Amino acid sequence: MTDLFQRAVNQRCLKGLQWEYVILVPWQADALLHHLQAAFDQKLNRYDEHWGTCQVTRLVLKFQFEIRVGERADGLTLLHRVNAEPALRQANLETVDRLLHRLLTHPNPTKPSA
């Protein structure tokens, strides 16, 4: 998609429900989580899980999507909720795209924004 990151749909998982972002430049999970919250107006519910030695953070916008950070070293996973309409799914993907582009281009933005 860009030189900064790529995203691809997982064809197995419910025909388009799960998207995997691969980040191609150095990045920090904490900063990403912080800016994701800002991009979605602090409405994401946060759940932390320990998978063995991995810490996985799940950010959930109810009835819209879930983002998992930490399950893969190279990026994040976005899972749409089943009832989320196609237009809403696309809008949420684009919000994450814009956020990633900003964050990876300017790793220390002073004002988080979508």
Question: Smaller CB distance to another protein: residue 10 or 95?
Answer: 10
Instruction: Give the Cα separation of 6 and 55 in Å (integer).
Output: 23
Residue with tokens 């990045």: 27
Torsion sign, CA atoms 80, 86, 90, 92? negative
Residues 65-104 interacting with another protein (rule: CB under 8 A): 66, 68, 71-72, 77, 79, 81-83
Instruction: Give the Cα separation of 14 and 35 in Å (integer).
Output: 28
51 touches another protein (CB under 8 A): yes
- Count, residues near another protein per rule CB under 8 A: 28
What residues line the site for another protein (CB under 8 A)? 10-15, 17-18, 47, 49-54, 56, 60, 62-63, 66, 68, 71-72, 77, 79, 81-83
